[in-house]
C-alpha cells in the first residue's frame, strides 16, 4: 500500500491506492479544512506535493499561479503512490502550540463556535459586479452597490474612500468577479475590503486588554483556529498598577492621549510580532478584530475620559460600544476593519466579564445557578441562571498578583508558586517557576503557604504568626513578625512573608468572599445553591482549591463544582471573532445583567468585616474544612 506523509507534522500512514486525500488525512489525523464540503469550489483545501505525485482531478477552482507552484486541491486528489504533501498554512504548524494554549485556558470546547456557525463580522464572499455597458448611466460605484444589495440584507452601503479609489482597477482586473468583506450592521453594509483574489488564510485578531497584560490571538477565521497567541504587559502599567490609579492618572486630555497611545503601542507591537513570526503577514490581511477589556481599559483604549467611571453616579461613556474602523482607533491591522468591542455592564463590570461569561453555562439559559468570578486586582462576579443575572465588582487590591506583598511578585520566572510546609518544624520546601533561584512569591504561592501555616496552627485566625519561639522560621522585626521562606543571602533579602502581607491577603480574600455572599444574599441564596463555580483570570489557573477554601477565599462546596476557565475574556473575544451567534449572545447577556454597586449595598460592609478572619468568623460556613485541619 502506498504511504502518505503529511507535512509539516510528519504524520505518516499507509492507505489503499486510490484513497482520497480527505480520507487519508482523517486516517493520519492530519487536519485539513474543507469549507465547501469537498465540492472543489472554495479552493481552501490546497496542499503542496513535496515528493511523489497525486492523481489530481483538476476540475475545481485553483489559480494557474498556485498550480505552477505545485499546489493541488486536497478534496480533488487521490493517493496513487508514496507521496509527501505539505499542508501549507502556518495554522497547522502552530496547532500543537495552540491546542496546548487552549487546553490550558480550561474552557470547555463545547462553548466554542461550531464550524457551521463560523461567521465573522466581515465575511469574505465572492461578489459578481455587473460589467459596464455603454451609456448604462451607472458608475462603478453604482454597480457595486447594486451587487452588494443583491447579496446582503442591508440597503445602505458604506465604502471607505481608499476602496472607492481602488474600485475601478479591481473591477476591471477580473471582469467584476471580486471578493468582498462586508459587515452588515443596522441596515448598512460596511465594506471592509475588496480584492481580485481570495487570500489563502483570512486572518482575524482577538484581543483581551487587561489592566496588567494584553493578550492577542492571531486567528484563521475561515477555519475557526487560533494560529498563535502573544501576551505582553500593558505599557500603561507604569502609570498605575490598578484601575483606580489609571483613572486618576488619566485626568486631562494629554494624559488620556498618552494612556491611549501606550495601550495602542502594546497592541500594535503584539500584532506586529504575531504577523512577523507567522510568515510576515501584512497587517492589512487582518480584516476582523474583537476586543474585550474592563470598562476603564476600553475607555482608555478609545481615548475617552475615564474619570466619570468612578464619580457618582458612576456613568461610563460607553456601555454598548459603537463600531469604529481600525484606522480611526489606531489599531494597525486593515484600517477598514470594523472593531467589535465587548459591551460593558457598569463601571467595574466591563467587556472582559461579558466576554468571559461566553465560556460558561450562562450562555445556555438553564436553571442551574452559576457563579462566575474573575480574580485579579479587581474581583468581578456574575451570579445567575436562565432567569436572572447579577453582576458586581469588588476591589481586591493587588495581593493576588503579588502587589502589596513585601516580597510579592507576579507569576513569572523566579516566583515561588507552591510550598510544602512541615507542620511540626514549620520549615518549608518551595517550588519556583522556571526552576531557578527564588526572587519572590506569587499569588498561588501565597495561598499555598498561608493555607498550610493556618492548618498547622502557625498562624491564627487573625493572620498573626506564632511568636512563641517554637518555629525557627519565624522572626520578629520591629513590631511585625515574618515567616522566612528563603533566608537572606549576602546581596539579597531572601523571600519572606510579613504579618502586614498577611493582612493584605486577608483584606483581598475578604473582599471577594463577602462580595459573593452579598450577591447571593441579595437574591436570598447561599453557596449551596450554586451548581457551577467558574474561576477566571490569569490568577485563577494556579489556585489550589482546597487551600483557597482553607483560607476562606473560596466557599466550602464540592470541589467538582469549581471550573477553571483561565483568560475567559480572551477566549470570549476569540468566540465573538468567529461567530455572530456569540456576538449576539454577549449583547444579550450584557443587557440581562443587573449591575449591583456593592458600596451602596446594605450588608456588604458587615459581610466584609466578618470575612476578615481565616477562614471566617462564621466557622459554620467552613465546617468541612475545619475537620480538614486534622489531616495535617
Contacting residues toward its own copies, per CB under 8 A: 132-142, 155-161, 164-165, 167-169, 172, 185-188, 256, 302-305, 307-308, 312-322, 324, 328-329, 344-346, 595-597, 600
Kindly provide the residue ranges of all beta strands, DSSP E only, lying in 221-303, ordered along the sequence.
225-233, 286-293
Q: Which own/partner pairs from 55-63 qualify as long-range (CB within 8 Å, at least 24 positions apart)? A: 55/18, 55/79, 55/80, 63/197
Helices (H) and strands (E) in the chain, counts: 18, 30
Q: Which is nearer to its own copies, 170 or 359 (CB)?
A: 170
Contact of 172 with 196, CB cutoff 8 Å: no
Spatial distance between the Cα atoms of 52 and 412, rounded to a whole number of angstroms: 48
Q: Taking the alpha carbons of 77, 80, 81, 82 in that order, is the dihedral positive or negative?
A: positive
CA–CA separation, 360 and 381 (whole Å): 13
Sheet containing strand 415-421, strands side by side: 428-432, 415-421, 440-441
Q: Which of 335, 339, 361 is nearest to 290 (CA)?
A: 339
Which is it for strands 370-375 and 378-384: parallel, antiparallel or unpaired?
antiparallel
562-566: strand order across its sheet: 562-566, 532-536, 370-375, 378-384, 389-395, 593-595
- 461, three cell numbers: 485566625
Residue for grid cell 474592563: 294
Closest approach of its own copies to the CB of residue 183, in Å: 13
Strands 338-341 and 286-293: parallel
CA–centroid distance for 382 within its chain: 17
Provide, rounded to whole angstroms, the least separation between the CB of residue 346 and its own copies. Answer: 7
Phi, psi of 245 (to 5 degrees): -70, -30
Measured CA to CA, the distance from residue 546 to residue 448 in angstroms comes to 9
The three-class DSSP label of residue 118 is strand
Task: Give the integer Cα–Cα distance in Å for 149 and 145.
Answer: 6
DSSP state of 132: P
Q: Which of 141/431 has CB closer to its own copies?
A: 141
Residue ranges of the alpha helices (H) in 126-229? 140-151, 161-173
Q: How far apart are CA 492 and CA 501, in angstroms?
A: 19
Q: Which is nearer to its own copies, 155 or 387 (CB)?
A: 155
What is the C-alpha separation between 278 and 125, in angstroms, rounded?
24
Which residues are 191's β-sheet partners?
A: 182
Rounded to a whole number of angstroms, the minimum distance from the CB of residue 283 to its own copies is 20
Task: Give whichever of 160 and 552 is closer to its own copies, judged by the CB atom.
Answer: 160
Please report which helix (H) or strand (E) contains residue 265, including its range: helix 253-277
Task: Return the closest-CA partner of residue 285 out of 397, 190, 200.
Answer: 200
DSSP H/E element including 84:
strand 83-86
Whose Cβ is closer to its own copies: residue 149's or residue 475's?
Answer: 149
Instruction: Confirm if 7 and 84 have CB atoms less than 8 A apart.
Output: yes
What's the CA gap between 274 and 223, in Å, rounded?
A: 18
Provide, rounded to whole angstroms, the least separation between the CB of residue 345 and its own copies: 7
Kindly tell me the burial class for residue 10, based on how many C-beta atoms sit within 10 Å of its own C-beta (0-12, 13-18, 19 or more).
exposed
Q: Cell numbers 475588496 correspond to what residue?
A: 194
In terms of Cβ atoms closer than 10 Å to its own Cβ (0-12, 13-18, 19+), residue 468 is exposed
Question: Whole-number minimum distance, CB 279 to its own copies, in Å?
Answer: 27
Shortest distance in whole angstroms from residue 372 CB to its own copies? 19
C-alpha grid cell, residue 32: 485539513
Amino acid at each position: 500500500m502506498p504511504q502518505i506523509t503529511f507535512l509539516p507534522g510528519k504524520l505518516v500512514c499507509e492507505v489503499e491506492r486510490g484513497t482520497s486525500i480527505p480520507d487519508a488525512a482523517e486516517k493520519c489525523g492530519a487536519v485539513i479544512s474543507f469549507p465547501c464540503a469537498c465540492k472543489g469550489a472554495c479552493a481552501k483545501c490546497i496542499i503542496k506535493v513535496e515528493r511523489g505525485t497525486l492523481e489530481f482531478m483538476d476540475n475545481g477552482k485553483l489559480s494557474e499561479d498556485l498550480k505552477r507552484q505545485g499546489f493541488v486541491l486536497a478534496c480533488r486528489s487521490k493517493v496513487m503512490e508514496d507521496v509527501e504533501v505539505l499542508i501549507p498554512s502556518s495554522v497547522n504548524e502552530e496547532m500543537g502550540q495552540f491546542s496546548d494554549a487552549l487546553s490550558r485556558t480550561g474552557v470547555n470546547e463545547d462553548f466554542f463556535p461550531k464550524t457551521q456557525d463560523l461567521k465573522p463580522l466581515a465575511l469574505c464572499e465572492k461578489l459578481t459586479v455587473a460589467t459596464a455597458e455603454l451609456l448604462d448611466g451607472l458608475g462603478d460605484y453604482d454597480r457595486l452597490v447594486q451587487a452588494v444589495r443583491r447579496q446582503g440584507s442591508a440597503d445602505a452601503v458604506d465604502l471607505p474612500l481608499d476602496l472607492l479609489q481602488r474600485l475601478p482597477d479591481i473591477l476591471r482586473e477580473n471582469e467584476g468577479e471580486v471578493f468582498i468583506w462586508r459587515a452588515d450592521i443596522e441596515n448598512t453594509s460596511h465594506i471592509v475590503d475588496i480584492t481580485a483574489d481570495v487570500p489563502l488564510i483570512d486572518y482575524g485578531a482577538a484581543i483581551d486588554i487587561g489592566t496588567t497584560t494584553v493578550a492577542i490571538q492571531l486567528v484563521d477565521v475561515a477555519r475557526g483556529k487560533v494560529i498563535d497567541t502573544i501576551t505582553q504587559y500593558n505599557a500603561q502599567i507604569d502609570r498605575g498598577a490598578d484601575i483606580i490609579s489609571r483613572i486618576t492618572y488619566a485626568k486631562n486630555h494629554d494624559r488620556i492621549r498618552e494612556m491611549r497611545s501606550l495601550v495602542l503601542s502594546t497592541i500594535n507591537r503584539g500584532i506586529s510580532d504575531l504577523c512577523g513570526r507567522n510568515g510576515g503577514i501584512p497587517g492589512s490581511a487582518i480584516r476582523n478584530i474583537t476586543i474585550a477589556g474592563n470598562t476603564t481599559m476600553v475607555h482608555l483604549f478609545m481615548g475617552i475620559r475615564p474619570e466619570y467611571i468612578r464619580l457618582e453616579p458612576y456613568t461610563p461613556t460607553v456601555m454598548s460600544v459603537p463600531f469604529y474602523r481600525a484606522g480611526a482607533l489606531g489599531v494597525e491591522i486593515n484600517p477598514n476593519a470594523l472593531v467589535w468591542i465587548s459591551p460593558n455592564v457598569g463601571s467595574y463590570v466591563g467587556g472582559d466579564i461579558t466576554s468571559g461569561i461566553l465560556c460558561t453555562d450562562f450562555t445556555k439559559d438553564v436553571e442551574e445557578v452559576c457563579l462566575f468570578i474573575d480574580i485579579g486586582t479587581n474581583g468581578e462576579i456574575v451570579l445567575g441562571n436562565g432567569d436572572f443575572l447579577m453582576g458586581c465588582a469588588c476591589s481586591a487590591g493587588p495581593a493576588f498578583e503579588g502587589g502589596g506583598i513585601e516580597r510579592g511578585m507576579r507569576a513569572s520566572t523566579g516566583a515561588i508558586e507552591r510550598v510544602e510546609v512541615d507542620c511540626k518544624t514549620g520549615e518549608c520546601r518551595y517550588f519556583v517557576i522556571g526552576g531557578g533561584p527564588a526572587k519572590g512569591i506569587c499569588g498561588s504561592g501565597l495561598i499555598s503557604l498561608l493555607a498550610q501555616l493556618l492548618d498547622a496552627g502557625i498562624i491564627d485566625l487573625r493572620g498573626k504568626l506564632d511568636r512563641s519561639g517554637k518555629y525557627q522560621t519565624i522572626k520578629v522585626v520591629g513590631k511585625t513578625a515574618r515567616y522566612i521562606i528563603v533566608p537572606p543571602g549576602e546581596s539579597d533579602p531572601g523571600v519572606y512573608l510579613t504579618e502586614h502581607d498577611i493582612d493584605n491577603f486577608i483584606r483581598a480574600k475578604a473582599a471577594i468572599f463577602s462580595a459573593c455572599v452579598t450577591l447571593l444574599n441579595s437574591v436570598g441564596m447561599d453557596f449551596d445553591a450554586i451548581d457551577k463555580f467558574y474561576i477566571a483570570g490569569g490568577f485563577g489557573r494556579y489556585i489550589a482549591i482546597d487551600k483557597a477554601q482553607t483560607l476562606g477565599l473560596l466557599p466550602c462546596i464540592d470541589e467538582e463544582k469549581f471550573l477553571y476557565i483561565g483568560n475567559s475574556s480572551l477566549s470570549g473575544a476569540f468566540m465573538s471573532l468567529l461567530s455572530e451567534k456569540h456576538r449576539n449572545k454577549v449583547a444579550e447577556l450584557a443587557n440581562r445583567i443587573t449591575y449591583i454597586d456593592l458600596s451602596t449595598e446594605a450588608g456588604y460592609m458587615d459581610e466584609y468585616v466578618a470575612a476578615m478572619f481565616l477562614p471566617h468568623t462564621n466557622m459554620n460556613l467552613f465546617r468541612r474544612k475545619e475537620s480538614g485541619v486534622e489531616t495535617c
